[in-house]
Amino acid sequence: MKKVVLTALTIMGIGLVSYAQDAASKTPAKNYKAFKVDVGLGYAFPSGGGGTKAGVTFTVEPHYRLNDALALGLRFEGAALGYSSTSSTGNSEVKVSVLNSYCATGEYYLKPSGFRPFVGAGAGIYTAASIAASTSSGGSAVVSPSLSKFGFFPRVGFETGHFRMSSEYNLVGADVSYLAIKIGFFFGGGRK
């Protein structure tokens, strides 16, 4: 966790320094407030194998706008993904994975106002833990210990007013990658 925060702060610091140097030579239009916090709830589609069921995701993401077109931020996300399968002998297994991610993010807005589509990306640490229950051998439950992996995601979406919708594909590993489609809103960051 400390490494993620340190990495994110370093990236944001580099961005702020480069922006300050660029701003000294020209003054870009700033029609929006610099700081905003996105809150989103969404549907997660795991990329795992057969019997994969969908899950839910919740995100809190503070951003700092370097200018009207570019924002840097930190994403804190939790996702619960479900899997189920039934064998040819009639035994079934259910598994729930809970993922938390701590990622540095960047977004580029394609329009200056109104309906504002954006593209972005992020990278950071994902932690995963799971519990599996099976009906074979009288039923049993197995809890897998938490593990951490590096992952990244590309993102597309739009904002209009304070409404926000986005879609991103979280590339973590073959067994925990997922597509998330989220809707939400943001505090702050509106027009000046």
Sole residue written with tokens 């990236």: 11
Q: What is the pTM of this model?
A: 0.74
Residue with more model confidence, 59 or 128: 59
Neighbour count for residue 165 (Cβ, 10 Å): 15
pLDDT, tens only, 16-37: 555 555 554 455 567 888 899 9
SS3 176: coil
Question: Residue 140: phi, psi to the nearest 5?
Answer: -155, 160
The two beta strands, 55-65 and 70-86, are: antiparallel
CA distance 176 to 131: 14
Stretch 33-49: mean pLDDT: 87
pLDDT band, residue 10 (cuts 50/70/90): low
* Each residue's pLDDT tens digit, 136-168: 666 666 667 678 899 999 999 999 989 999 999
